[in-house]
Structure 1
């Protein structure tokens, strides 16, 4: 059972590493597809580990789970940065669109001076 669980951990790590590297490199990432693959892997690991009690946890398995935890945290951090960047970009685009639609008639003055057209 341990060997099967380690194989499942390896598959999930592969997904996480691929997504993390793609996000860092600025490559296109199909987040929905990767999310489905991660969910499937986590379901697989849950099913495999149901019969695995603490007394069956070997040092190797504990080490692999520790590495997986580190990979998950790294992936979470990179995804968080990606989402923050996407939010900032969408805000910039929204402001640019709003500015492009406005003729400036009702724009607030900056520093007490009305903006020139």
Structure 2
């Protein structure tokens, strides 16, 4: 049961990582929902599984999932930072467009 849960999680991570690599952020809600479901499933399995007696395929799958999660985390971080930068640019542009210069640090002189 653990191996099948890990394999499902691995497939979700692979799909999300591929989408992030292609800059396709349209399915993020679905990916988040599916990853949350996997987390709940793995949390429940954790209580029933003796970590000291994991099989070789389970250990190998855990190691693959860990490596894939690292890459996925990196890509999510890149996209998050890019979105923050775009947000800051848009916010600055809106503030600049709405400002009449009254509180600007530069004084404007008209001749």
Category of TM-score, reference length = shorter chain:
0.7 to 0.9
| 1:1-117 matches, cutoff 5 A | 4-109=1-106
Unaligned runs of 5+ in 1: none
Question: What number of residue pairs does the alignment pair up?
Answer: 110
Which structure ranks higher in relative contact order (CA pairs < 8 Å, sequence separation ≥ 6)?
2
* CA shift for structure 1 position 51: 2.0
* CA shift for structure 1 position 91: 0.4
Tell me if the contact between 2:13 and 2:72 (Cα under 8 Å) persists in the aligned partners. yes
How far, CA to CA, are the matches of 1:54 and 1:44 in structure 2?
16
Tell me if the contact between 1:12 and 1:41 (Cα under 8 Å) persists in the aligned partners. yes
Q: If the length of structure 2 is used for normalisation, what is the TM-score?
A: 0.83
Unaligned runs of 5+ in 2: none
* CA shift for structure 1 position 116: 8.8
